[in-house]
Homo-oligomer: A and B are copies of this chain.
């Protein structure tokens, strides 16, 4: 019988027990059974948690990650979506590189104050123009009137 206690899952995955309960609450993972009150997890949850971790690393929100698991529980990430994400990362990198180069230039600049450095002034203009911030996937911040807690079995 390979079912795992929440403590075991937490230790092996590095995800705090409170986070595991939270993930379950929003329907991102599920526990197979209870022993008394205690959740019992199928070891598969460890792989799933790895996937979740990867998704977070890639900048997906938990909602988006949840959407990537099909009804069967198998990860079902459309290849198009992966490519789109890769392209977004690419764009983000370009912005970061520009910023990095500018920062380095300014750091080495001979001008007495940064404001007198032409590169710095140019940077100010571009910075006010582009967002460039780390906005992983919120293209439309449309208003949600939905309740915050979703039922697990939804």
Contact residues of A with B, CB < 8 Å? Answer: 13-14, 47, 50-51, 53-54, 56-59, 74-75, 77, 79-80, 82-83, 85-86, 89-90, 92-93, 96-97, 99-100, 103-104, 106-108, 113-115, 123-125, 127-128, 130-134
A89: which of B56, B96, B106, B107 is its contact (CB, 8 Å)?
Answer: B96
* B54 close to A83 (CB less than 8 A): no
For the complex of A and B, list the 3 residue pairs with the smallest distance between their C-beta atoms, beginning with the closest: A54-B127, A82-B107, A86-B103
Alpha-carbon distance A104/B13, docked complex (angstroms) = 26
* A124 close to B50 (CB less than 8 A): yes
> A59, A79, A86: which has the most chain B beta carbons within 10 Å?
A86
Contacts of A90 in B (CB 8 A): 100
